[in-house]
Amino acid sequence: MKQQKEKKNIILILLTIFIIVSVLCTYEIYISYKDLTVNNYYIKTNEISTNANIKFAVIGDLHNYELNNKNQILIEKIKSQDPNLILIAGDMLNSDSENSDIVISLIKKLVEIAPVYYALGNHEFDYMKNEDLHLVGKIENAGAIVLENKYKDIIIKGEKLRIGGMFSYAFGKEDQVDKKTMDKNVYSFLEKFQNTSNYKIMISHRPDSFIFGNASEVWDINLIVSAHNHGGQVVIPFLGGFYGGDQGYMPKYTHGIYNKGKMKIAITSGLSSNRKKLPRFNNRPEVMIININGEN
């Protein structure tokens, strides 16, 4: 009788623990899609004057998701930061999305806040191949500037910036920068892009395009802005992200600003994820705000 009672108590304790863990996990998954956060990052550089303070918002990896009320909370949080620019780092829809209505509607509202520059991700390329060849035209008609192997020279607060966008890898065979093994158009674009005294920002959906091999040592780019890795998708306490694109399991570069070679690489954890993958966990959706200031 006593043994049966003890066995029943153990079962009750285990069941209670299971329920508590299940509730906590469900909550963490829920807030990883719903609890939008704004994270500010600061970069000091002698490439711009000491009294300049240039602020831009970075978003990516929406994956055709609506956070709430047609993404109104996302729009309001970006607007509250009063950015000089909004940079979109790709994968704003899915390769199999029925249409591009969500991202087009969002862009139309974002351009009322600040100029929007959009670089394509792998899902945009697949969507254009599978669903709609005219996606780029629709994005541009909504008011954004699409940058794919292109750049724009702009002036903000009297400071000259060059903003570019590219999806391709910035290296060739064996992860090395080599004109012979790289796509000719990509190599030519990067040569032209770096040939300026302007502060250079490259929107590249995959941080992997620049972190492998010697790309960060060779190309003279001040700042790479990326998404793609979803902050590691599942963030394990004390260990970090579980998976990140070409980096595979337990990736080093998932979220935040990193120094790599000649560059700084800013990676947003993004706004959502492709539902076919593991759900986001312990990983809140993010609006990344980058503040660039001149060094004293």
Cα separation, 292 vs 48, in Å, equals: 9
Under a CB-based contact definition with an 8 Å cutoff, are residues 45 and 296 in contact?
A: no
Read off the pTM: 0.91
Distance between CA 144 and CA 9 in Å, rounded?
A: 62
Q: Does domain 36-294 have CATH number 3.60.21.10?
A: yes
Express each pLDDT in 99-148 by its tens digit: 999 999 999 999 999 999 999 999 999 999 999 999 999 999 999 999 99
Q: List, as one string, the DSSP characters of 64-116.
A: T---SGGGHHHHHHHHHT--SEEEE-S-SS-TT-S-SHHHHHHHHHHTTTS-E
Which helix (H) or strand (E) segment holds residue 125: the answer is helix 122-130
Quick: pLDDT tens for 220-260. Answer: 999 999 999 999 998 888 888 888 888 989 999 999 999 99
Q: At what angle do helices 101-110 and 72-80 cross, to 10 degrees?
A: 30
Q: Which DSSP letter does residue 243 get?
A: B
